[in-house]
Amino acid sequence: MSLILIIEQILNGLQFGVMLFLMAAGLTLVFGVMGLINLAHGSLYMVGAFAAAAVAGATGSFVLALIASLAAAAAAGAIVELVVIRRLYARDHLDQVLATFALILIFSEGTRWLFGSFPLFLEVPRYLSGPVTLPGGIQYPLYRLAMIVIGLLIAAGLFWLIARTRIGIQIRAGECDREMIAALGVDISKLYTLVFALGAALAGLAGALVGAIQSVQVGMGEPVLILAFVVIVIGGIGSIKGALVGALLVGLTDTLGGVFLPRFFELFLAPASATSVGASLASMLIYILMAAVLLVRPLGLYGGRT
Amino acid sequence: MKPIRTLALATSVMALATAALADTKIGMITTLSGGGAGLGVDVRDGFMLAIDNAERDDIEVVIEDDQRKPDVAVQTSDRMIQSEKVDIMTGIIWSNLAMAVIPSAVAQGVFYLSPNAGPSALAGERCHENYFNVAWQNDNLHEAAGAYANDAGFENTFILAPNYPAGQDALTGFKRMYEGELADEIYTKLGQTDYAAELAQIRASGADSVFFFLPGGMGISFLKQYADSGVDLPVVGPAFSFDQGILQAVGEAALGVKNTSQWSKDLDNAANVAFVEAFQEEYGRLPSLYASQGYDTANLILSALEKADVSDKDAFRAALREADFDSVRGDFRFGNNHHPIQDIYVREVIKEGDVYTNKIVATGLEDHADAYASECKM
């Protein structure tokens, strides 16, 4: 196990974590500000990927495809908020889970109806394809580096938005006491729509970025959604900082665990059983991490509210 | 609630009425919604093409979606057997669903013809006289890939598959035939879509080639990332990641990859030429491996119905066993465990105009039977 391989795997974990952050950021804002469990967040990720694939297929431009993914997911998010989600804020979590689960089914079958049953094609643009050589002789795909950079830029932008702008103040205030800021004259329902659309847009962008190196198909959002929930539970609900730290922790744990656990078991088990035991344990690792974090900090790493 | 119940009653009465008209009732349970729907749609379309071509008005096909969920598949099959009284069942794509449905269906006296899933458990000791597999036993295409790896002179192959029964069958099948060294053997998570970590391991392993079994979306992701990673080793795999439905989504990354299949659209026999042409005309797309399996399954049923009535179970079973139909894959017969004995080919991904497709470059295994046949007492 060379140092180069270890560094490469850390980069992989970082990249995975950054993409998880884009998903988790929207989820944690919606959960934190509106108190809403949105299972359909994964569908917005899928909407972004399909919009990107459709636009890239029609125009051949990856930049346009990314813009389309942001726009389509934000629009889908805003419509869903206005039509469905708005009626759920006062309901309990079970109703929200049921309604948003119904949205998953509607989105999935609607997408299948529009685009057909077969996966769509979306590829990495020429100028980002292929590997680059990093200092130390590490070969790493340029596209994945670009994903890390884009993700970190968006994280920085979100921090700025939440901490330094008027909207950010309103979002934070809404999180603390929604009646009070409504009484102060802030249009709370418009704010909610905005936050929901923002979260949706980020999920859509993640879908498009990931779709270029994975498969764009119906149901692609649900596995990521589960991980995103793990991230916000670890990070603390409602905290953007928690979402970033949680996402990176989950990304690194998942990637490095999958690589090194089988190696570790090989030290004292036969290779065949080491592989399967290691692989099984690696897939449990993030949930073990979540349980450990919750034992020490029941509200998550940065969850301040009770 | 009341009108719905009345409506349901009305539909079931109507269903009973049509059941009285048709002599043979076929129940198809397959995946028609969600992520795996492409495979089920292909099986259904291939199957219905053959049924429609036969122009028989004494056959009724009931088609239901299993949503790729074992519990849904079991409920649907119970309903088909008990209240709709189907004679023959078919359609299931996934091995875990097959294991949930087939043993109880055949035990209730229904014939089951699998157009895809061929779990090893049903090929050996638990084989059944009413269960026929028209596609392959799960290990078969992987065995052919192992044989091809020997022919191609691979000596140090890196192999990977998802950590679930069909994935373990795959690596077992490959290793059964492959004679070289293994650079490493990895089980990935089922449904995993990011293979950056595995690609880094492949790069570091010093392997001279890669074998992978990653069906559906997993394969698309792997191939795209493989092409982008700068790893430049020859790749071989079973046809499941290179079928007509997903090749367009993989694109250029798949060009030149060798894959093993019992069928290819360029197989030169009269039945296949007619099938490919009719399928394209009917559905406006090229048929896949799955469509060919659906088509063969329907033709097998039709050939048996020519000889025997389905109500005479022994005669119908004997007629099925003869497999007296023109398979689109060429020669086809059943072994003692009702699984195919057939040639398995090596195909290469090529581009025809704007469409990515496969062409046959070699025969991987001739007249190949599965490894479990001897355990079947039949």
Bridge partners of residue B342, in order along the sequence: B368
Asked if B204 and A131 come within 8 Å (Cβ–Cβ), the reply is no
pLDDT at B49 over 90: yes
For residue B189, list chain A residues with Cβ-Cβ distance below 8 A. Answer: 258, 279, 282-283
Whether residue B121 sits in one domain with residue B12: yes
Asked if A215 and B193 come within 8 Å (Cβ–Cβ), the reply is yes
**With contact defined as beta carbons under 8 Å apart, do B263 and B15 qualify?**
no
The structure tokens 């190196």 sit at: A213
Whether residue B300 sits in one domain with residue B351: no
The structure tokens 């969920």 sit at: B69
Chain B nearest C-alpha distance from A272 (Å): 8
- Whether A77 contacts chain B with CB within 8 A: no
State the pLDDT at residue A118. Answer: 81
Segment 242-281 of chain A within 8 Å of chain B by CB: 255, 258-259, 262, 271-272, 275-276, 279-280
The structure tokens 């905005």 sit at: A194
- The amino acid that residue A96 corresponds to is Q
pLDDT at B375 over 90: yes
Report the residue from B201, B228, B249 with minimal CB separation from A143. Answer: B228
Whether residue B128 sits in one domain with residue B207: no
Whether residue B43 sits in one domain with residue B54: yes
Chain B nearest C-alpha distance from A188 (Å): 36
Asked if B38 and A118 come within 8 Å (Cβ–Cβ), the reply is yes
- The amino acid that residue B38 corresponds to is G
Mean predicted confidence (pLDDT) in B122-141 = 93
pLDDT tens digits, A213-225: 988 988 889 889 9
Whether residue B43 sits in one domain with residue B114: yes
Whether residue B99 sits in one domain with residue B14: yes
What is the C-alpha to C-alpha distance for residues B376 and A249, in angstroms, rounded to an integer?
50
State the pLDDT at residue B274. Answer: 95
**Can you tell me the ipTM of this complex?**
0.80
User: Could you tell me the CATH number of the domain that includes residue B145?
Assistant: 3.40.50.2300
What is the C-alpha to C-alpha distance for residues A277 and A269, in angstroms, rounded to an integer?
9
Write the DSSP assignment of A96-135 as a string of letters: HHHHHHHHHHHHHHHHHHHH-SSPBP----GGG-SEEEET
Mean predicted confidence (pLDDT) in B61-78 = 93
pLDDT tens digits, B82-118: 999 999 999 999 988 999 999 999 999 999 999 999 9
For residue B220, list chain A residues with Cβ-Cβ distance below 8 A. Answer: 119, 214-215, 217
Q: What percent of chain A has pLDDT above 70?
A: 98
pLDDT tens digits, A146-191: 999 999 999 999 999 988 999 888 888 888 887 888 888 888 888 8
pLDDT tens digits, A1-36: 578 888 889 999 999 999 999 999 989 988 888 888
Whether residue B359 sits in one domain with residue B319: no
For residue A12, list chain B residues with Cβ-Cβ distance below 8 A. Answer: 194, 196-197, 200
Mean predicted confidence (pLDDT) in B363-370 = 92
pLDDT tens digits, A82-122: 999 999 988 888 999 999 999 999 999 999 889 887 888 88
Strands (E), chain B: 24-30, 59-65, 88-90, 111-114, 131-133, 156-162, 181-188, 209-212, 235-238, 258-261, 333-334, 340-352, 355-368
State the pLDDT at residue B253. Answer: 85
Asked if A12 and B197 come within 8 Å (Cβ–Cβ), the reply is yes
Whether residue B273 sits in one domain with residue B197: no
- Whether A125 contacts chain B with CB within 8 A: no
For residue B185, list chain A residues with Cβ-Cβ distance below 8 A. Answer: 271-272, 275
Cα three-residue angle A11-A17-A22, rounded to 5 degrees: 130
Q: What is the 3-state secondary structure (H, E, C) of B68-104?
A: CCHHHHHHHHHHHHHCCCCCEEECCCCHHHHHHHHHH
Predicted confidence band at A305 (pLDDT cuts at 50, 70, 90)? low
Whether residue B104 sits in one domain with residue B158: no
Say how many domains are in chain B: 2
- The amino acid that residue A137 corresponds to is G
For residue B356, list chain A residues with Cβ-Cβ distance below 8 A. Answer: none
pLDDT at B21 over 60: no
Asked if A5 and B200 come within 8 Å (Cβ–Cβ), the reply is yes
Nearest to B45 by CA among B28, B58, B57, B59: B28
Whether residue B106 sits in one domain with residue B192: no
Whether residue B147 sits in one domain with residue B130: no
Whether residue B154 sits in one domain with residue B73: no
Handedness of CA A236, A237, A238, A240 (dihedral sign): positive
What is the C-alpha to C-alpha distance for residues B238 and B258, in angstroms, rounded to an integer?
9
Report the residue count for chain B.
378
Q: B236 is in which domain, residue-wise?
A: 140-262+344-375
What is the C-alpha to C-alpha distance for residues A67 and A204, in angstroms, rounded to an integer?
10
DSSP class of B138:
T
